[in-house]
């Protein structure tokens, strides 16, 4: 702990001279021994390895095995090889692997962005002389000179400081620059934000000058620890990945069990034809496996990411869309996310009364004129061409005075500054002398308690009266009231300059005071209410003090008392189990370090929460990476936070997260509906195949027919489900359990659709064979119903969204799905009725190609057209019954 060391101890432990710095030889030895002041470069997997890893996905492996098996078995049985099935399956697998690889390559830049945060040059003292060197050559023990406008090149213990202020918001979350000093701190344990004699790598010097000694650099610096945290963070599987893995496992086991069972049945009942029956078993396995599923899910997610880009949400990883819909806890950074990241004057103490800033009226009185002058002229902030330069507190004063004066730069030209006393952390005051007309005036600002000591008079109703002890008490009480609301109070005074510079800040006339705060975003208040209605808990994590955090949290309706707030120091006193118990009451975390944020996420995840973390600073990067969904700010966010996150908000608006959650919930419903469609259709194919084979002794279709349906027709129909209009009722539901199966609340629907489709397909076959005595037409008509029925009932396949309302209205027409259905119907009729084309897609049950494909009689064509509508009619009736009983 460098902040509590005496200078002599620093010099001894770091083996340096605090006046002359290191010698050049010593610095070179340490550079050679310990390496450069650089963050480690990440080792990325090459793109070819990423593709290979994607091919090792369980479903991909199953498809590859099925494809190879079809070729090998066909070779064994008939000594012939038809590669159509194999090539189509392998193409699907590689297409999905390539899409996944492209997404990963785009997303991996986290540690590279950390490097960009460092400064290329640093000013050091070596051998008693001042040098400018690359920051990469800094070593521990180097004595570094800091100036305003420069980044801190390494972690420094400050040994000399003059009016030093450092913006540490990117590291600690502190919303205003921190005053720094060179005094020893006797505490034994402090969070980063309270180590006021330390300067940390990659923070920014906003004011003053200092000299510090390097105590840590590279990976040993605070930002280096963050980099190590990013590199070592284990990427958790998303809820969608978990569900797909579970579905893949189930389908694989079921396909294997069914194929083996069918083969064994035929082996004992029709042993001489076991080779043909083996091929039949493989055909059934292919029918069960949803070959197109991985592509369908990927395309639906891609469509959703495109929609999200239109609402200012950039998605870096496809799975993140669905995960966002599963979120039940949002851990939000305060500054810039829930607040405006802009200090704003909210209250004014004027004429001994505290009023809202909006209620202040400029009346062109002497009092008003000097009050506005003190805010504008005793100020160095500039607002030029939409770029605000200066201390956030002074920028807030400029923003306020622009309501009543001309541009501050022109106002200062008009009232020229002829002298000044800069702000000093000891005096807590700043004074300027400005020319007003033909006179010169002193304007002073500072802490109200210190300024009142310098005042002897006060303005009251445009008259100057003595400042009595009673009035001082009233003013201090008003200021304390503002402070309790977490407002930063700054007071102002003036006097006519009498030429005595030694007595510049005495005998002042009190003008008034302002209370400033980084206020909540108005839209964030509504968004938090919407989140609570959607069953999502919102927690606020900030580097600010507990009082400031609580005041903002109350305005956001996130907390009601101090019992809802905990500090980083208090977290350190708790073990993980104790911290988890605290989550019942705690929703605000104040004065936290980066490691606290990651620990909070870990504990929430251990309680089975799906956690979203928002942030914009370097300090947020580890927790953004660790969370189920990391959400970075696009405007104020650092490169580090953007690269560590899964999602970036282009407008930095907390309410946009809720739009993303709604999209995520909807995309899950669409994926679930697509999976239900695919699974129910595949089950129908298998059942129809088995029933007809077992009862009629005839195999109605072959693997090429199944692949045509599974890969072409199913994909064509399932992908447009992603274009369905969103259902805003989903935001009235509680977040789903991340362990929830795809079949939750939809299994009955899937089985109902599968059985009705099976009934239609089997019924068509037996009508053709028994009624019309036309076996060839029966086979062709069976294939027609099998492939066309799903194109008709896909519109009616509406899954329950946890509740069904009787007044539910149909959404907008999905013209993409309508077009896909018409195309699917057209293609199916084409391959049945078009000579030449039908010979490619239609195979005889024996596996031998027809020389001439049988035609379908007009009677069986009419039967097929009628039977393919049966699942639709049954499904509509089922849906009406389900709605009527409220299930």
* Nearest alpha-carbon partner for 786 in 809, 756, 761: 761
Work out whether the CA dihedral 467, 469, 472, 474 comes out positive or negative: negative
Instruction: Round to whole Å and give the CA distance between 58 and 60.
Output: 5
**Phi, psi angles (nearest 5°) of residue 436:** -120, 105
Instruction: Round to whole Å and give the CA distance between 282 and 38.
Output: 57
Do residues 189 and 1 make contact, with C-beta atoms less than 8 angstroms apart? yes
Instruction: Round to whole Å and give the CA distance between 799 and 715.
Output: 19
> Catalytic one among 85, 142, 167, 333?
333
The SS3 call for residue 513 is strand
Q: Which segments of 537-582 are extended strands (E)?
A: 537-541, 565-567
Residue 89: both structure tokens together: 């399956």
Instruction: Round to whole Å and give the CA distance between 18 and 125.
Output: 9
Instruction: Round to whole Å and give the CA distance between 788 and 709.
Output: 9
Do residues 418 and 443 make contact, with C-beta atoms less than 8 angstroms apart? no
- Strands 508-517 and 129-134 come out as unpaired
* Nearest alpha-carbon partner for 211 in 25, 391, 27, 21: 21
Distances (CA, A) of 374 to 369, 442, 513: 9, 9, 10
Instruction: Round to whole Å and give the CA distance between 367 and 55.
Output: 76
Do residues 416 and 397 make contact, with C-beta atoms less than 8 angstroms apart? no
* Nearest alpha-carbon partner for 493 in 349, 365, 364, 382: 349
Which 3-state string (H, E, C) describes 104-163? HHHHCCHHHHHHHCCCCEEEEEECCEEEEEEHHHCCCCCEEEEECCCECCCEEEEEEEEE
- List Cβ neighbours of 416 (8 Å cut-off, separation of 6 or more): 434, 435
Residue 619: both structure tokens together: 């300090």
* Nearest alpha-carbon partner for 707 in 290, 389, 426, 354: 290
Do residues 550 and 588 make contact, with C-beta atoms less than 8 angstroms apart? yes
* Nearest alpha-carbon partner for 199 in 131, 119, 120: 119
Concatenate the DSSP letters of all residues of 582-623 into one string.
Answer: HTTT--EEES--HHHHHHHHHHHHHTT--EEEEE-SGGGHHH
Do residues 337 and 607 make contact, with C-beta atoms less than 8 angstroms apart? no
Cα 182 versus chain centre, distance: 39
Do residues 603 and 574 make contact, with C-beta atoms less than 8 angstroms apart? no
Instruction: Round to whole Å and give the CA distance between 488 and 767.
Output: 85
Instruction: Round to whole Å and give the CA distance between 617 and 173.
Output: 7
Burial-class residue 358 by CB neighbours within 10 Å (0-12, 13-18, 19+): exposed
Place of tokens 């098996």: 69
Instruction: Round to whole Å and give the CA distance between 214 and 133.
Output: 14
**Phi, psi angles (nearest 5°) of residue 500:** -90, 100
Coarse DSSP helix, strand, coil percentages of the chain, rounded to the nearest 5 percent: 55, 15, 30
Cα 300 versus chain centre, distance: 19
Q: Is 620 a catalytic residue?
A: no
Radius of gyration of the chain (CA): 36
Do residues 324 and 731 make contact, with C-beta atoms less than 8 angstroms apart? no
Residue 681: both structure tokens together: 């259709």
Catalytic residues: 333
């Amino acid at each position: 702990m460098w902040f509590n060391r005496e200078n002599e101890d620093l010099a001894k432990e770091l083996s340096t001279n605090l006046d002359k710095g290191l010698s050049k030889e010593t610095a070179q030895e340490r550079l050679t021994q310990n390496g450069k002041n650089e963050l480690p470069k990440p080792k990325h997997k090459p793109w070819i390895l990423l593709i290979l890893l994607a091919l090792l996905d369980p479903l991909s492996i199953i498809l590859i095995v099925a494809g190879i098996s079809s070729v090998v078995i066909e070779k064994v049985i008939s000594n012939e090889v038809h590669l159509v099935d194999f090539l189509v399956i392998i193409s699907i697998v590689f297409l999905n692997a390539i899409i996944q690889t492209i997404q990963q390559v785009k997303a991996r830049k986290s540690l590279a962005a950390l490097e960009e945060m460092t400064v290329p040059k640093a000013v050091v003292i070596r051998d008693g002389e001042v040098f400018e060197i690359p920051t990469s050559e800094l070593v521990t023990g180097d004595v570094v000179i800091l100036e305003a406008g420069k980044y801190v090149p390494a972690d420094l213990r400050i040994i000399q400081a003059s009016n030093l202020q450092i913006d540490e918001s990117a590291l600690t979350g502190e919303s205003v620059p921190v005053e720094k000093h060179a005094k020893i701190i006797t505490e034994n344990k402090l969070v980063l934000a309270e180590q006021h004699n330390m300067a940390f790598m990659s923070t920014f010097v906003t004011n003053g000058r200092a000299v510090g000694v390097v105590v840590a650099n590279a990976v040993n610096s605070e930002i280096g620890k963050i980099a190590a945290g990013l590199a070592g963070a284990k990427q958790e599987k998303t809820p969608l990945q978990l569900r797909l893995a579970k579905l893949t496992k189930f389908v694989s086991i079921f396909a294997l069990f069914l194929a083996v069972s069918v083969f064994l049945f035929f082996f004992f009942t029709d042993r001489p034809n076991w080779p043909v029956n083996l091929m039949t078993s493989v055909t059934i396995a292919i029918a069960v496996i949803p070959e197109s599923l991985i592509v369908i899910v990927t395309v639906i997610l891609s469509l959703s990411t495109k929609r999200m880009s239109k609402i200012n949400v950039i998605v870096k990883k496809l799975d993140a869309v669905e995960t966002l819909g599963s979120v039940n806890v949002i851990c939000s950074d305060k500054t810039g996310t829930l607040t405006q990241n802009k200090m704003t004057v909210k209250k004014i103490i004027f004429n001994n009364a505290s009023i809202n800033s909006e209620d202040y009226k400029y009346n062109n009185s002497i009092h008003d004129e000097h009050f506005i002058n003190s805010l504008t002229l005793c100020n160095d902030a500039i607002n030029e061409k939409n770029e605000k330069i200066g201390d956030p507190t002074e920028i807030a004063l400029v923003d306020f005075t622009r309501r009543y004066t001309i541009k501050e730069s022109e106002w200062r030209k008009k009232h020229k500054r002829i002298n000044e006393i800069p702000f000093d952390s000891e005096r807590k005051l700043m004074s300027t002398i400005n020319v007003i007309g033909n006179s010169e005036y002193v304007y002073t600002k500072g802490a109200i308690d210190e300024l009142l000591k310098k005042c002897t008079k006060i303005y009251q109703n445009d008259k100057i009266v003595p400042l009595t002890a009673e009035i001082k008490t009233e003013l201090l009480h008003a200021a304390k009231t503002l402070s309790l609301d977490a407002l930063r109070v700054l007071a102002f005074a003036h006097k006519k300059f009498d030429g005595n510079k030694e007595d510049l800040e005495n005998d002042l006339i009190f003008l008034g005071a302002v209370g400033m705060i980084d206020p909540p975003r108005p839209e964030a208040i509504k968004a938090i209410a919407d989140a609570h209605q959607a069953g999502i808990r919102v927690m606020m994590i900030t580097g600010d003090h507990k009082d400031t955090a609580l005041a903002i949290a109350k305005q956001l309706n996130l907390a009601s008392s101090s019992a809802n707030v905990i500090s980083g120091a208090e977290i350190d006193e708790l073990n993980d189990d104790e911290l988890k118990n605290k989550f019942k009451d705690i929703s605000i975390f104040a004065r936290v370090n980066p490691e606290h944020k990651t620990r909070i996420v870990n504990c929430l995840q251990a309680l089975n929460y799906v956690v979203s973390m928002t942030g914009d600073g370097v300090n947020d990067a580890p927790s953004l990476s660790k969370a189920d969904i990391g959400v970075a700010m696009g405007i104020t966010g650092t490169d580090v936070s953007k690269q560590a996150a899964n999602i970036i908000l282009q407008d930095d608006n907390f309410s946009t997260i809720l739009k993303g959650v709604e999209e995520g919930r909807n995309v899950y419903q669409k994926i679930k509906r697509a999976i239900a469609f695919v699974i129910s259709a595949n089950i129908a194919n298998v059942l129809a195949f088995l029933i007809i084979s077992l009862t009629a002794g005839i195999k109605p279709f072959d693997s090429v027919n199944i692949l045509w349906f599974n890969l072409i027709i199913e994909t064509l129909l399932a992908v447009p489900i992603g274009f369905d209009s969103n259902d805003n009722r989903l935001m009235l539901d509680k977040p789903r359990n991340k362990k929830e199966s795809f079949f939750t609340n939809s299994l009955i629907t899937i089985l109902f659709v599968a059985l009705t489709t099976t009934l239609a397909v089997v019924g068509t076959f037996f009508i053709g064979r028994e009624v019309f005595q036309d076996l060839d037409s029966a086979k062709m008509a069976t294939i027609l119903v099998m492939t066309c029925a799903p194109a008709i009932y896909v519109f009616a396949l509406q899954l329950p969204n946890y509740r069904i309302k009787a007044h539910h209205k149909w959404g907008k027409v999905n013209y993409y799905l309508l077009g896909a259905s018409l195309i699917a119907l057209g293609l199916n009729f084409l391959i049945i009725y078009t000579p030449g084309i039908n010979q490619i897609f239609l195979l005889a049950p024996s596996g031998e190609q027809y020389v001439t494909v049988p035609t379908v009689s007009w009677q069986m064509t009419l039967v097929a057209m009628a039977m393919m509508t049966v699942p639709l009619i049954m499904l509509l009736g089922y849906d009406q019954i389900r709605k009527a009983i409220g299930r």
